[in-house]
Structure 1
Amino acid sequence: MSNIFRELLKKVGSGNHTGENLTRAEAASATKMMLLGEATPAQIGAFLIAHRIKRPTGEELAGMLDAYEELGPLLQNINSARPVIVLGIPYDGRSRTAPISPVTALLLACAGQSVVMHGGDRLPTKYGIPLVEIWQKLGVDWTALPLEKTQQVFEKTGIGFVYTPRHFPLTNSIWEYRDQLGKRPPFATMELIWCPYAGDAHVIAGFVHPPTEGMFQQALTLRGVSKFTLVKGLEGSCDLPRDRTAIIGLSAPLAPQQEGLTAIERLLLAPRDYNFTTKNVPLETTEQLVADMQAVLSGKPCELMQTALWNGGFYLWRSGICSDMQAGITKAEELFSNGAVAAKLQELTQVVNSVSKVVYQAV
């Protein structure tokens, strides 16, 4: 048993009156001891559920991210005119609304904006459809690539995917606890703002509960991340909703800091103001989702196309490619209709398949 870990567990698990928050260094130490198996299973399970009840602080999230940076994978810096966008999507996937982020990534890469995504397979607690499965159905299999081959794909296409079961296997044991506990631990919050990229990055993360935005703001400020976008998105993702006004926090690093935090500029976007229907596309079957995505990539009008244009327009503007939201929507429509985004998917598929052949031949 780890006596050091036991002291950290006592701090977070002592209840409302005597419990304490961890320092950034303590949170980093606790995370490393759990990932490396230096804490016992009983200690790890107790810590995860106690910390969920307590709720993490931004400082604790920063410490967890420190541990991930020390132990985890990093795609290396590439030559990019803009900060690389890192899309933080819930690892336990989507179950109610149709995700659009793979299409958004293709659109951005097509327009010259590099994107990094990360995640694993179907995981607890939701066991929703994960990004890697959508990519596979679109013809792109990230799961067989070692990190150095993923780096090659990233450099050639502007899209990279850190597949955690292969690239960060230390996290695999944590998923077992998450399944047994039946609740998302603080790691589930932290992973949304994890940045597995070594260069200048623009972190984009979704959230559900408003207090999470403040935690993200503090953690990212402590980590020195000056450019971030926080979206009250669909099922905690970066996808903008269409059934309500999108509530978005934009980092404003040049604005005066408040209490040492990077300032946030509030943005409210109403779909009706841009002539979009105000309903989300439901997630039915994986096959239907992929068919709808293929229709979008072919430039065919469909309900999911509205979601693609709504999100694509925002992210083209936010990345600096387009001057405003309406220009972004117009640009997205053009790139879908002229086949440029479909061509980017074809390029990505060919590069991944080519790199995969080299991996198999080496084996």
Structure 2
Amino acid sequence: MNIKISLTLTLLLTHLPALAATETEYELGGFLKANARYVDGTIAFQPSWNGDGTIQEEAKRTQFGAQESRFNLKLIRGEITGFAEIDFVGSSQGNPVISNSYSPRLRHAMIQYREFTAGQTWSTLVNTSTFAETADLGGPLVGQAMVRQALLRYQTDHWQVALENPYTYGTQASDTQEQKNWIETDNDYIPDAIIRYDQQGSWVNISVSGLIRYLDPSDTAQLGLGGSLAAKINTFGKDDLRFQLHYGNLGRYVGTDAAKDIICGEIETTSSAMVAYRHFWSETTRSSLFYGHTRTEVEQTDRSHFGVNLFTNLTPGLRVGVELGRYQIDDSQYSWSSKQVQTGQSNYAQFTLQFHI
């Protein structure tokens, strides 16, 4: 639940003889989240599973943390809406020896005016209503569209058209299997273009998206195309089915580092899927069973994540949950990142307590 505060700001307009009053509404939101996570297996520990991973000797690790807590501020003044959000994932100032300090990370900073949105927010390819409810941050990211970036978007009731920040992620055409270097992004000068159609009703929220990209690193140029289908379908009672299907030259847009845009000068093709079913045992207690998978054709990465959880609301603003799952890597050839064939799996258990502001 957001906290709403309405203030009246008196603005002095130098070209008018009188004062004008403009009401601005502030909404404070976010949550505090405490996690306890246990991982056992041959894939190195991650605070939450993404599409990457390093194979190691079998190991066990437990970590407590609160860095997934986030805070946001929404400002509404007439037809203008501003939204900014931070959390503390992915960076640290201290260490477990002393302070466990974490640096703030910008998630969103955007402005909406009528049908236009500008700034950093979810990519137009992302349909957040189809994310599974999970203890692991973001759920089965390996099978989802999960990108936030700067963009300019025009939106109507059913259509969205956007130009988004261009960036080529991958390796150079001159690379060999033994010597590989990141692509230089000096020639990322044409924005990525996305068009999306949405249909919402009492029982379904569905979106179909298309992506067009021109990738022009220093030693190759590629036209990339990709498509995405995502839906949330209400089934029985309060239950729902959520899924995403992705195919094409989607690269960094899907799988959260499971796929690159270009491998040794060749554009990558990705197939990804995510499905989750949520069942309500009572008005406040529910479980989700979920699965995510990504496979690439050039680098031949194969990553999957599945799990099951149980959540209940102790109060309207306080929820507690426990989740069990597995993350697997079944790459079929020499991996660019690890310089070896990667095969491994890790099981995990996670307890989470989340207090919504």
User: Which structure dedicates a bigger proportion of its chain to strand?
Assistant: 2
What's the TM-score once normalised by structure 2's chain length? 0.30
User: Which structure dedicates a bigger proportion of its chain to helix?
Assistant: 1
Larger relative contact order, structure 1 or 2 (CA cutoff 8 Å, min sep 6): 1
What's the TM-score once normalised by structure 1's chain length? 0.30
